[in-house]
Amino acid sequence: MAKIAVLVAQSYEDSELLVPVERLTDAGHDVELLGVDAGRELVGKRGKTKVHVDASVADRRPEQYDAMLIPGGQSPGHLRDDPHMINFVKGFAAIGRPIAAVCHGPQLLIEADVVRGRRMTSWPSVRAELEGAGADVVDEEVVEDGAFITSRRPDDLEAFSRALLDRLAHREGATDGQAAQSRQRQEP
């Protein structure tokens, strides 16, 4: 199964972290929460959930993961100030593996300068920023363009999660043996 990097900071949108992560783990995928500081406890924007950061993004490489998930809330706004996080996102985009961002999640993609020429969606207040960074912005439940999967809000989470799971299933079906060999070579 796939290994997923979930980029998260304080005040993430609770459901935008929990729903996709639950769908991914239920499907047998391995999820690792990456933040600025390993072990740090983070509280969701709604105060309903708490999670612990599994590892610092500074200690990981994009090649160690099969996909990336960026939940919304205020988390992407905090993460976009960290140079290690930005470099990780740039590196991940360069290798072309699936990147799923919901709500305010595309803010981190904007900061990494990887949205130009891409068709995307987001929370309404992020759309002008996406357009300014060169994205073709639409108002749709789920938008897929190349490696990118974007959604607008918590109401879109089931469709968003399904799109990511479908992408992972397709990727694994096409390269199951190659992906496992690649992961084994790249793990520290």
Catalytic residue numbers read 103
Token pair for residue 175?
């390269």
Would you mind telling me the total number of residues written for the chain in this entry?
A: 188
CA neighbours closer than 13 Å in the CB half-sphere of residue 3: 15
Cα dist from 32 to 14, 41, 84, 121, whole Å: 16, 14, 17, 25
Q: Is 39 left (phi over 0), alpha (psi -120 to 50) or beta?
A: left
How far apart CA 64 and CA 179 sit, in angstroms, is 11
Share of the chain residues as helix, strand and coil, in percent rounded to the nearest 5: 45, 20, 35
- Find the radius of gyration of the CA atoms of the chain: 15
